[in-house]
Amino acid sequence: MTPRSLPALALRLVLAATLAASGYIHAQLYIDGYRFIHVIGPLFLLQSAAAFAVAALLLLAAPLLLRIAAAAIAIGALAGFATSRTIGLFGFTERGLQPAPQALLSLIAETLTLLIVVAWQAFEVRRHHRTRPHHDGISRVRPDLRTATPDR
């Protein structure tokens, strides 16, 4: 393993762990009673399945598409959390950080997931800029064809 790939491996493993944690929390809540809540129950199950699937795939590889999927899962869970505590979601509302401690742990896992994806993207951009050949400042503009003398 090269030193350059070590940060990417670490980011991949931590990202998979935060996604799996979010999936586990949602699965636990589903089993503990959310399965009986119309629409919300199936959404918890869907979030859990998607989080576990993307986490498992991240253990194998981490293309941009999987990182985007991880961010989308986290954003969806956070949006559902916020909506259920403000205007309600499909007629379902909750207050504060209930159920405890799952609500807080879920917020932490999903926020970390987003932060890791952002950090990873920043790492990739920096790595790309370091490996890209430097521009020497010479313009690559074609010569003005109007001033060229025609060949006879």
Give 61-111 pLDDT, tens digit per residue: 989 999 999 999 999 999 999 999 999 999 899 999 999 999 999 999 999
Give 21-41 pLDDT, tens digit per residue: 999 999 999 999 999 999 999
41-59 mean pLDDT: 97
Whether the predicted pLDDT of 3 surpasses 50: no
Residue 125, token pair as written in the block = 């951009």
1-21 mean pLDDT: 82
Going by pLDDT thresholds of 50, 70 and 90, the confidence category of residue 124 is confident
Whether the predicted pLDDT of 142 surpasses 70: no
Going by pLDDT thresholds of 50, 70 and 90, the confidence category of residue 125 is confident
Residue length, the chain? 152
pLDDT at 89: 93
Residue 2, token pair as written in the block = 């090269």
